[in-house]
């Protein structure tokens, strides 16, 4: 079983490497995923601001990661360029209806899944 997990991870890593194209001697990530929503950049900003504000992620040298570093990391992961993250951050904090709808949806989904797992365990 462990071997198949390792093989799957190696295959994913190879596929990730194959999803790169060279452009003027620089590697540019291609998008490997697609967002369901068209407002995905604001969703990413919600994630970034949450990670920055909880002060949980640090570089190997011990510096807290800021928005700029996280934008770069998420560009690598999601293949999305958010070069206007400062403007999006300002729009994010100016929201008046609901500040974090994406994070609230995530929390609700996690709590619902946890409840269903607890209910399943109680049936035994």
pLDDT in tens, 47-104: 999 999 999 999 999 999 999 999 999 888 888 889 899 999 999 999 999 999 999 9
- Across 103-123, average pLDDT: 89
pLDDT of residue 33: 75
- For residue 20, give every residue at least 6 positions away whose Cβ sits within 8 Å of its Cβ, in sequence order, or none: 27, 28, 29, 30
Q: What is the pTM of this model?
A: 0.67
Per DSSP, the three-state class of 118 is helix
Q: How far is it, in rounded angstroms, from Cα 120 to Cα 102?
A: 27
Q: Is pLDDT at 3 greater than 60 in this prediction?
A: no
Q: How far is it, in rounded angstroms, from Cα 50 to Cα 55?
A: 9
Contact 48, 85 (CB under 8 A): yes
pLDDT of residue 22: 47
């Amino acid at each position: 079983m462990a071997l198949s997990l390792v093989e799957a991870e190696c295959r994913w890593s190879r596929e990730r490497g194959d999803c790169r194209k060279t452009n003027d001697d620089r590697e540019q990530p291609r998008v490997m995923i697609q967002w369901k929503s068209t407002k995905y950049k604001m969703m990413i900003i919600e994630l970034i601001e949450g990670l920055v504000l909880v002060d949980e992620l640090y570089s190997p040298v011990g510096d807290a990661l800021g928005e700029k570093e996280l934008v770069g990391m998420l560009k690598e992961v999601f293949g999305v360029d958010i070069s206007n993250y400062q403007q999006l951050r300002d729009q994010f904090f100016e929201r008046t209806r609901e500040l974090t709808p994406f994070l609230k949806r995530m929390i609700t989904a996690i709590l619902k899944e946890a409840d269903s797992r607890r209910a399943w365990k109680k049936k035994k």
